[in-house]
Structure 1
């Protein structure tokens, strides 16, 4: 970080800030970006630079273009009620990003030094952080292999960069629920694979199935695994199920970290929050579609929701599974758990509650 240099954009070339109401996820970007090159022959990581937003020039044989040697993260900066700008749990993103780098044969880095560089980038473009509790600034750190040689092998040159965009709600409306397509003929991840890493190669192959869900009138895909149809993830989100067991106890359950799902920052935050409440049981275990169907038919299924950086918490209203519709009363309760979780997380993110998870950029 001490070697970081900043080249500011010409004031005459600064982009106009969009209206908060017009924000569309990932369409409008800020004036500056962070770039850090890695060259093994030059001793590793080079000096970080913040420069005006620009296109990236790559050799046509760059490994990222041929073998998907690439990974990324998603983080958010929030403008608090006190005017301070905070980033939510960036340390966890850096740990996960380094794990993805190891899986891709890409160089690892000092996570906290990267956080300092990101803080400076947000500071430079702080006017882009929306003055609204319905929006935030999304950070997309990305690491790509840029060796200009063909062949499936480790890339000795890499580019670590970060771009940012102001974003509103990922889905329309705070309590707008989503419907899912659960088709066991498609699999997102498998044991021994990289389903728990944030690699671009995990996401591209899901587009076809996502399009199928949309054609059937569903917003997202509920990814299943195995002959018993275990639930794993919802689109790009982790999933939670809130239900009442046979003893009348309320339980919040989410699939375990066995390598099939991403270790979500929001997922971990939800588990920790709910553990502090001590109001219901919390479980991390395998959940099958058979169990979901049984709970729904016995009126024991109370809520289902997805969680992630982009959406925070998204309620689920129905699942299409084996030509049947499973309706879930998530938004029909007067005080649903998903809403309480979302409100408490947002209170931390926007500075209503002082919390070490929300780290001021200064």
Structure 2
């Protein structure tokens, strides 16, 4: 692959928003990374250029057949003014697993991490320093060949854009309310549920609208076959603490292999907390709630990191968890993960990578 990175610095710099105005994914940095693919040249012409619109033919396959994948990771500013990435190697591995499922040619993860470090370095003033803030990084691939045949594209564009962000949820670390979806289905084993592809998220929008209308922040998906086993939340993997044991649904081909999920599992085992990855039904969860052994619930994801769940709604019943308050373990996980990410706590796992 072509590794000759071209860099074009923007002549006009944008105004960087104040930390309390960031929100999530509202503002974008001065530069972006682009890499093109054709079957003749492979991946070629890597470049960092000023952030700008792109032009695509109306027949580009991404518009018609959804051949696209994406990733999400973050950069953090430490108290010593260093900038750290969190487990970017895992994102690149997952990106290529998604590529394989969507018939997209694999990318050179090591090169992309080096290009990403350069991109972050160029736009380093965009990495916010306030507590709870970070620079969200969105790598993605789209199919660009302008033909309407139903087959894999011969042309692709890989890009990285970046956005300074605050808290993903308005609630912040405070518990969120989750609606258990028992009508719509998002994914099944053998489908694309384990790939980070746009169609998975589009499939969840209708259910999310309904949950929002009922006053809930997110949807908890059940399996698409028996409609009884818990899978994941719309933007997070999910964990439950039942009678001292932490349980999360096992990866089964329809659940995203979350990087924060993996980090939480490693932290829990490092602390000696009993943890298992297995199937768990909504009925089992309801029974644990009724007998008082459901102690905590929380979601995990790059955007929110740890999101405590204060209430679940299923078939007309509200399950208020831990009195609707953030649990001790959820808080400890959030504090530990964010402290590793921003460099205020030692990183015993070697997860963080300095940008420069």
Report if TM-score (shorter chain) is over 0.5.
yes
State the SS of the aligned residue for 1:35: strand
Residue pairs, 1:1-362, within 5 angstroms: 2-10=3-11, 13-41=12-40, 43-225=41-223, 226-227=225-226, 229-244=228-243, 250-278=244-272, 280-329=273-322, 332=325, 336-355=328-347, 356-362=350-356
Q: How far does the alpha carbon of each residue in 1:161-196 deviate from its partner, in whole angstroms, 9 at most, with x for none? A: 000000000012443211111121111110111101
CA-to-partner distance for each residue in 1:185-211, whole Å, 9 max, x for gaps?
Answer: 111110111101100011112111101
1:295-326 Cα shifts (integer Å, max 9, x gaps): 00111000000000000000101111111111
Q: TM-score normalised to the size of structure 2? A: 0.96
Q: CA RMSD in A?
A: 1.3
Distance 2:226 2:183 in 1: 10
Note the C-alpha offset of 1:331.
5.3
Cα drift, residue 228 of structure 1: 5.4
C-alpha contact (below 8 Å) 1:27/1:165 kept by paired residues: yes
Q: Given that residues 310 and 325 in structure 2 are in contact (C-alpha distance below 8 angstroms), is that contact kept between their aligned partners in structure 1? A: no
Q: Distance in 2 between matches of 1:131 and 1:266?
A: 21
Provide the rounded CA distance (Å) in 2 between the counterparts of 1:52 and 1:30. Answer: 9
- State the SS of the aligned residue for 2:45: coil
Indicate if the aligned counterparts of 2:3 and 2:46 stay in contact, CA closer than 8 A: no
Distance 1:262 1:60 in 2: 31
Q: What's the secondary structure of 2:240's corresponding residue?
A: strand
Whether the aligned pair in 2 keeps the contact of 1:243 and 1:300 (CA below 8 Å) is yes
Q: How many residues align?
A: 352
Distance (whole Å) between structure 1 residues aligned to residue 123 and residue 181 of structure 2: 43
Over 3 Å counting, the alpha-carbon distance change for 1:288 and 1:304 in structure 2 is same
Q: Is the 8 A contact 1:30 1:165 kept in 2?
A: yes
Contact 1:315 1:331 in 2 (8 A): no
2:311, 2:324 within 8 Å by CA — same for their partners in 1?
no
Q: Distance in 1 between matches of 2:166 and 2:78?
A: 15
SS of corresponding position for 1:292: helix
1:63-105 CA deviation, whole Å, 9 max, x = no partner? 0011011000000000012211011000000000001111111
Q: Is the 8 A contact 1:178 1:315 kept in 2?
A: yes
Q: 1:163 to 1:228 in 2, by over 3 A?
A: closer
Structure 2 segments unaligned to the other structure (5+ residues):
none
Q: Name the SS for the 2:203 alignment partner.
A: helix
**Which stretch of the first structure deviates more once superposed, 169-178 or 90-99?**
169-178
CA shift digits 1:259-295 (9 cap, x unpaired): 12100000000000110101x3110000111011100
Give the 3-state SS of the residue equivalent to 1:38 in structure 2: strand
- TM superposition score normalised by structure 1: 0.95
Deviating more after overlay: 254-263 vs 218-227:
218-227
CA contact (8 A) 2:32 2:161 kept: yes
Structure 1 moving runs of 4+ over 6 Å: none
How far, CA to CA, are the matches of 1:29 and 1:330 in structure 2?
39
